[in-house]
Chains A and B, each alone.
Chain A
Amino acid sequence: AQTVTQSQPEMSVQEAETVTLSCTYDTSENNYYLFWYKQPPSRQMILVIRQEAYKQQNATENRFSVNFQKAAKSFSLKISDSQLGDTAMYFCAFMKPYSSGGGADGLTFGKGTHLIIQP
C-alpha cells in the first residue's frame, strides 16, 4: 500500500513571496503519478500540477513547479509570487497507473497543508 505524508499542517506567507510545500511518499511501484490538488473553501478539488514518475523533468504550470526526487520519494510544490487566491488546502496525492485486468486505482492523499497568503 502507498502512503503520502505532508508534514506541514499549516503555512503562512506574505503575498508575493515564494512558498514550498513538502510531500513525501512511500511505494514499491516504479511507475506512478503524483499530483498536487488545491481545495479552496468551496471544497472543489482543483488540479494544480501532476508529474509522471518516469519523467525526470520537473513539471511546471505557470507559478507552480515541483521538485521531484524519485530516489528520495519526495515531491515538493513551489508557489512563486504567491497571491491571495492561493489561500487553500493543498493535498499531495499518489496514483498507480492503470493495469490491465486490475483497472485503475484511486488517489491516495496526504493529510494536507493549509496555506494562508497574508496581504
Chain B
Amino acid sequence: GAVVSQHPSRVICKSGTSVKIECRSLDFQATTMFWYRQFPKQSLMLMATSNEGSKATYEQGVEKDKFLINHASLTLSTLTVTSAHPEDSSFYICSAGGGGTDVMKKLFFGSGTQLSVL
C-alpha cells in the first residue's frame, strides 16, 4: 500500500478561491516534508521544504504568502494555495522523508494532486 498518502488527487476550483492539499506519511514519522510542482511535460521543481520544528523554507521565486505550508505533525503536511489563479494550475507532489538525520532512509512521494483553476 501507499506509504505517503496525498489528497485530493484532482481538484478544480474557481479563480480567487483557496485550495488545501494534504500529505500524510502512513507508517513512519516524517521529519521533513517537501513540496514540488510539475508543469506539463516538465520536471519537478522544489517549492518548499519543511523540517521538523521549524518553519517552511521556500525556494527562490515561490511566494510564501500564496503557498502556505503547515507541517502540523510528524505525519501530516498541508499545502494551501491561496487566491488561486489559472497560472497556478499544475501538478503538485509531496514527498516525505524520515529516518532521523538520514532522510534518505525513508524518502517517499505522494501520488500527486492535479490542480486546475478556472
Chain A contact residues, CB within 8 Å of chain B: 33, 42-45, 47, 50, 91, 95, 97-98, 100, 103-112
Contact = CB atoms under 8 A, between A and B. Distances in A.
Given A103-B32, A103-B51, A105-B49, A98 B43 contact: no
Given A91-B44, A98-B103, A112-B43, A104 B109 contact: no
Give the dominant DSSP class at B's interface.
strand
B101 A98 contact: yes
Contact of B49 (A42, A50, A100, A103): A103
B91 A43 contact: yes
Contact of B43 (A47, A50, A111): A111
Interface of B: 31-32, 34, 36, 38, 42-46, 49, 51, 54, 57, 91, 93, 95, 97, 101-104, 107, 109, 111-112
Contact of A108 (B46, B54, B101, B103): B46
A104 B103 contact: yes
B99 to A, nearest CB: 9
Given A98-B101, A109-B44, A110-B43, 19 more contacts: A33-B104, A43-B38, A44-B111, A45-B93, A45-B109, A47-B107, A50-B104, A95-B104, A97-B104, A103-B49, A104-B51, A104-B97, A104-B103, A106-B46, A106-B49, A106-B95, A107-B36, A109-B45, A111-B43
A98 B103 CA distance: 7
